[in-house]
Amino acid sequence: MEPSPTSLSRLANSGLTVREAADRLARDGRNVMPSVGRPHPVREFVAQLTHLLAVLLWVAAGLAMLAGMPPLAVAIVFIIVLNAAFAFWQEHRADRSTERLRSLLPQVAQVVRDGRVRRLDVAELVVGDTVLLTAGDRIGADMIVEAEAGLTVDESMVTGESAAVPHEVGERVVAGTFVIQGEAAATVTATGAATTVAGISALAGSAERPASPMSRQVGRVVRLVAVIALLTGVSLGLTSLALGLDRTSAFLFGVGVAVALVPEGLLPTVTLSLARGAQEMARSNALVRRLDAVETLGATTFICTDKTGTLTQNRMAVVEVLTRAGPVTVRGLGYQPVATLAGAAAAKTEVPQIVAAALSCVTGRVERQGAEWVPRGDPMEAAIHCLALRTGTDDTPSEPERRPYTSDRMLSSACADGTVSVLGAPERVLARCVDVPADAHQIVAELASQGRRVLAVATHRWTSADGEDQRENNLEFLGLLGLEDPPRENVGESLQACRDAGIRVAMLTGDHPATAEAIGREVGLIGPTGLVIVGSSLPADDADLALLLDRPDGCVIARVTPQDKFRIAKALRQRGHVVAMTGDGVNDVPALREADVGVAMGASGSDVAREAADLVLLDDHFGTIVRAVELGRATFQNVRRFLTYHLTDNAAELAPFAVWAVTGGNFPLAIAVLQVLALDIGTDLLPALALGAEPPRKGIMRGRRTRNVVDRQVLLRAFALLGLVEAVCSLAAFTLVLLAGGWTWGAEPSASLLGRASGTAFAAIALGQIANAFACRSTRLPVWRLDLSGNRLILMSVAAELGLLAVFLGVPPLADLLGGTWPDPIGWAYAACTALAVIAADGIVKTVGARRRPR
């Protein structure tokens, strides 16, 4: 079914014919922005080979080759290429994910073709098309305004100016801007690459993607560890020189140690973890427009949510009409145009006049799609059209001149044949009426206390000679409309999950305070001591405002304005909260941008709101926000897991070199540089990726989340517990094998004995890291209490790691190259003890910690 014409459709021309449009589409191409030329994949891959750390590694590989150590040079080059390939794959995957997410949000336009209004994909717009624009629309091509009613456009994307710009007939509006208020009919003058925004798009696409806060924090850790690695390499190189090594050998030894200890794979692993979190959110109907929003969502401490469509179903229906003669109850199913009206006969006779006046003020409609009737446009306006169909009140034959609803007036009006009809908030409409019934305000309060949205309808005769200031004044009261919007399912459970997570929730709505309070109490957003306040009564001081709203029992702010929402987001952020703010309208954009996470509605929101948001809810459900917060927390925890894993391995790898240097070479070097590189390849890579895919824990929404990804807990766990146990046990295994072979302090062990002992230390660290991978899955549960099948990627990575361990130690040429040989049975037993020791130490600390935690 074709959409009904808006108030300007009859002022527009009949538009192109379908045949003309098809010919122009074939001639000019689809109305899409030219894809910004991304760097060639080869160039992107080369960029991964030439960043700072990679350059240092290239220098080290060249020096190793010049010194006659090709195995070390080959190993270093392999590390460089492997990390470059890994990072390139993740960047490519992230870009592809972003493209897929954007494709899930199609943009449509109302276009006049063959004299009829059609809803088409903006990509099908052609030069000469007549497009109808309403508030919230994104303008899909360059156009000239042919007719308008209060048209105001946000051109900040083009001009950089935040103030909205009014446009009159004959003026030009450009693609990519947004209609803030009013309506217009406009003719397309340029599409695709010919539009003004095409050049801006090319410049925007060439900008580099900014790093997320988490990536910057992890980057600082990587740089710190890299500096430590370089200093360690220099120190050990000088130590080896003092112990009698020649300059070339000492230099290469120091370089090798530094190369082995540099954590080149950390940053790409973080990127992949964030990308995976975004993909998981997309499966839960939450589309992340920026990867860093994944981590920010997990840190959310305050959610400011709309009521309509988020906490409620946004399936509005007029269930009661209050006339001067009494109430009329309307009973119907969904948006079906059939209903039963119950009430006094005199009251029923007044209903058509009330409905006709209300219908003239709105453009939303219901339309039939198959066997279903669905809303098009604003659901509240569609409910009024549905009521008109149910009462037999059709659109007026004379198209009215409308003044659309604005947040400052809180009403809309229409003028046709000398009659002005007004529809809006009761307190605003009744204040303009000259004959308000004595009980009108009491009835409004009663309806609102039942959770109804209440609209007042009024009318009067007016001509231009009366003056514009009298157009919406001196009104005759007609009646009230009571609309019902049932709460969404499972909203109460989602709100309770927020409380358990320490997240405060506030409802920000334009509804009557009694209506908002009734819904808030019904869904459990506010408790017995919860706050209900009107936007006009909010404190003027931002600190006082934040203090008032920061309460665990919830709060409702009714009759809120866009300016109020902006102030609330700003004040709460200044108080230290991480704020998520929902919005669906054009005027919500400042608040969405001010919040840490702007959340737009995908099903009912405006294009401009979705463009400004960090997160788009495809189902508009409050529970989806909570699910996104849960996944954000899970992603944050996974980053902490694999950081702990990486740092533990670095501690175990560094210990043999430190002991060798401290003892002045009297204690043999337990593992060689190439063995460290092999451990990084076989131990760090796959388990770290698997830890990044760990599913959310059951208690992840209990209590507030820690702010820092690397904190005292991570460092102590990596260096003072897991890394220390691995280092001590691997060195102990190495020493026991040496002693069993007859070695004495300060003596040079035989090549075969040193090979077996070194192979044992290598195996001990590798098996210790396998245990570490399981230990890092949880910060509270010991390994034996974890569901081993809860993360199948861990099991797969462990199997791969064991295979690589067998190859590194069991293939003679490779084992000889690395410096360690296959351990004897007692050596394997010692190595296995390292894994058991890691699990035991981890379990003891977790068990003791659990007993000390308050229950």
Q: Which residues are catalytic?
A: 306
Tell me the angle at which helices 513-523 and 491-500 cross, rounded to the nearest 10 degrees.
Answer: 80
Q: Which residues contact 130 (CB under 8 A, 6 or more apart)?
A: 12, 13, 14, 15, 16, 111, 112, 146, 185, 186, 187, 188
φ, ψ of residue 574 to 5 degrees: the values are: -65, -25
User: What element of type H or E holds 173?
Assistant: strand 172-173
Question: In this structure, are residues 432 and 412 in contact, taking their beta carbons and an 8 Å threshold?
Answer: no
How far is 839 from 661, CA to CA, in rounded Å?
29
Residue 366's nearest CA partner among 383, 343, 390 is 383
The amino acid that residue 786 corresponds to is L
The amino acid that residue 834 corresponds to is T
- In this structure, are strands 615-617 and 597-601 parallel, antiparallel, or unpaired? parallel
* Token couple for 361: 């003020």
- In this structure, are strands 178-190 and 130-134 parallel, antiparallel, or unpaired? antiparallel
Separation in Å, CA 354 to CA 116, 422, 471, 702, 814 = 29, 10, 19, 51, 88
Residue 50, judged by CB atoms within 10 A of its CB (0-12, 13-18, 19+), counts as exposed
Instruction: Give 475's DSSP letter.
Output: B
How far is 461 from 645, CA to CA, in rounded Å?
77
Return the HEC string of 751-806.
Answer: HHHHHHHHHHHHHHHHHHHHHHHHHCCCCCCCHHHCCHHHCHHHHHHHHHHHHHHH
The DSSP result for 331-395, as a single string, is EESTT-S-EEEEE-HHHHHHHHHHHHHHHHT---EEEEETTEEEEES-HHHHHHHHHHHHHT-PP
How far is 220 from 657, CA to CA, in rounded Å?
24
**What's the alpha-carbon Rg for the chain, to the nearest Å?**
34
User: What element of type H or E holds 482?
Assistant: strand 476-484
Q: Which residues contact 614 (CB under 8 A, 6 or more apart)?
A: 288, 289, 290, 293, 296, 597, 598, 599
Q: To which residue do tokens 């030009």 refer?
A: 172
Residue 732's nearest CA partner among 675, 683, 667, 681 is 667
How far is 149 from 703, CA to CA, in rounded Å?
51
| Cα 519 to the center of its chain, rounded Å | 27
As a residue count, the chain comes to 855
Residue 725, judged by CB atoms within 10 A of its CB (0-12, 13-18, 19+), counts as buried
How far is 422 from 410, CA to CA, in rounded Å?
11
